[in-house]
Chain A
Amino acid sequence: MAQRSEHILGGDQLGKLIELLARKGYEVIGPRLRDGAIVYDHIESFDDLPRGWTDEQKPGHYRLHRRPDEALFGYAVGPQSWKKYTHPADVRLWEAERQGTTFRILNNENKPEHPRAFLGVRACELAAIAVQDRVLLEDKYHDPIYNRHRGGVFIIAVQCTQAAETCFCASMGTGPRVSQAFDLALTELLDPSGHRFLIAAGSDRGDGILSELKTSPATEQDLQDTAAKVDAAAKHQVRSINTSGVKELLYENFEHPRWDNVASRCLTCANCTMVCPTCFCTSVEDVTDITGDHAERWRRWDSCFTQNFSYIHGGSVRPSAKARYRQWMTHKLASWIDQFGTSGCVGCGRCITWCPVGIDITEEVRAMREGGKNGNP
Chain B
Amino acid sequence: MATTPKIDPMLPQPFVVHEVSKETPDTFTLRLDPEDTIKASAFQPGQFSMLWVFGVGELPISISGDPALHDRLVYTVRSVGQATHSLVNQKAGSSVGVRGPFGSGWPVDAARGRDVVVVAGGIGLAPLRPVIYQVLQNRKDYGRLVILYGGRSPRDLLYRKELAKWARSPETQVLVTVDYGGLGWRGHVGVVTTLFKYSRLQPARSVAMVCGPEIMMRFVIRELEGHGLSRDDIYLSMERNMKCAVGFCGHCQYGPHFICKDGPVFRYEQVSLLLEKYEL
A residues whose Cβ falls under 8 Å from a Cβ of B: 93-94, 96, 98, 101-105, 107, 135-136, 139-141, 143-144, 254, 280-284, 286-288, 292, 295, 302, 304, 308-313, 317-320, 322-323, 327, 331, 334-335, 338-339
Are B251 and A281 neighbours in the complex by a CB distance under 8 Å? yes
Contacts of A105 in B (CB 8 A): 11-12
Rounded to whole angstroms, the CA-CA distance of A308 and B242 in the bound complex is 11
Excluding A101-B16, A102-B95, A327-B253, 10 further A-B contacts by CB distance (< 8 Å) are A107-B11, A141-B247, A254-B277, A282-B250, A283-B249, A284-B244, A286-B57, A295-B54, A302-B249, A312-B241
> Which residue of A is nearest B81, CB measured?
A313
Kindly provide the distance from the CB of A312 to the nearest chain B CB, expressed in whole angstroms: 5
> Which residue of A is nearest B55, CB measured?
A288
Are A331 and B11 neighbours in the complex by a CB distance under 8 Å? no
Rounded to whole angstroms, the CA-CA distance of A287 and B58 in the bound complex is 11
Indicate whether B10 reaches chain A with its CB closer than 8 angstroms: yes
Are A335 and B256 neighbours in the complex by a CB distance under 8 Å? yes
* Sample (26) of A-B pairs whose CB atoms are under 8 Å apart: A94-B11, A102-B35, A102-B94, A105-B12, A107-B11, A135-B248, A140-B246, A140-B261, A141-B247, A254-B280, A280-B248, A281-B250, A281-B251, A284-B243, A286-B56, A286-B57, A288-B54, A302-B243, A302-B249, A309-B241, A310-B240, A310-B251, A311-B241, A317-B240, A319-B279, A338-B256
Are A101 and B94 neighbours in the complex by a CB distance under 8 Å? yes
Indicate whether B52 reaches chain A with its CB closer than 8 angstroms: yes
Are A141 and B250 neighbours in the complex by a CB distance under 8 Å? no
Rounded to whole angstroms, the CA-CA distance of A319 and B97 in the bound complex is 32
Kindly provide the distance from the CB of B218 to the nearest chain A CB, expressed in whole angstroms: 15
Q: Give chain B's interface residue range (CB within 8 Å of chain A).
A: 35 or more
Contacts of A308 in B (CB 8 A): 241
> Which residue of B is nearest A98, CB measured?
B54
Interface of B is mostly: loop
Contacts of A319 in B (CB 8 A): 279
Contacts of B80 in A (CB 8 A): 313
Are A102 and B58 neighbours in the complex by a CB distance under 8 Å? no
Contacts of B9 in A (CB 8 A): 141
Indicate whether B239 reaches chain A with its CB closer than 8 angstroms: yes
Are A281 and B95 neighbours in the complex by a CB distance under 8 Å? no
Are A292 and B243 neighbours in the complex by a CB distance under 8 Å? no
Contacts of B14 in A (CB 8 A): 102-104
Are B241 and A310 neighbours in the complex by a CB distance under 8 Å? yes
Are B55 and A287 neighbours in the complex by a CB distance under 8 Å? yes
Indicate whether B43 reaches chain A with its CB closer than 8 angstroms: no
Contacts of A143 in B (CB 8 A): 248
Rounded to whole angstroms, the CA-CA distance of A282 and B183 in the bound complex is 49
Indicate whether B187 reaches chain A with its CB closer than 8 angstroms: no
Rounded to whole angstroms, the CA-CA distance of A144 and B248 in the bound complex is 11
Contacts of A339 in B (CB 8 A): 256, 258
Rounded to whole angstroms, the CA-CA distance of A279 and B80 in the bound complex is 32
Rounded to whole angstroms, the CA-CA distance of A312 and B279 in the bound complex is 12
Rounded to whole angstroms, the CA-CA distance of A163 and B12 in the bound complex is 47
Q: A286-B57, A319-B279 are in contact. Are A139 and B243 (CB under 8 A)?
A: no
Indicate whether B255 reaches chain A with its CB closer than 8 angstroms: yes
Are B248 and A282 neighbours in the complex by a CB distance under 8 Å? yes
Are A302 and B54 neighbours in the complex by a CB distance under 8 Å? no
Contacts of B35 in A (CB 8 A): 102
Rounded to whole angstroms, the CA-CA distance of A197 and B280 in the bound complex is 49
Choose from B94, B255, B279 the contact partner of A318 (Cβ within 8 Å). B279
Contacts of B81 in A (CB 8 A): 313
Are B239 and A312 neighbours in the complex by a CB distance under 8 Å? yes
Rounded to whole angstroms, the CA-CA distance of A338 and B258 in the bound complex is 11
List 3 A-B pairs, minimum CB-CB distance, nearest first: A281-B250, A288-B55, A323-B279
Are B240 and A96 neighbours in the complex by a CB distance under 8 Å? no
Rounded to whole angstroms, the CA-CA distance of A261 and B76 in the bound complex is 44
Interface centre among B16, B93, B248, B258 (most CB of A within 10 A): B248
Contacts of B253 in A (CB 8 A): 327, 331, 335
Are B248 and A309 neighbours in the complex by a CB distance under 8 Å? no
Contacts of A331 in B (CB 8 A): 253
Give per-residue flags for B143-160: 1 if the beta carbon is below 8 A from chain A beta carbons, else 0.
000000000000000000
Kindly provide the distance from the CB of A154 to the nearest chain B CB, expressed in whole angstroms: 25
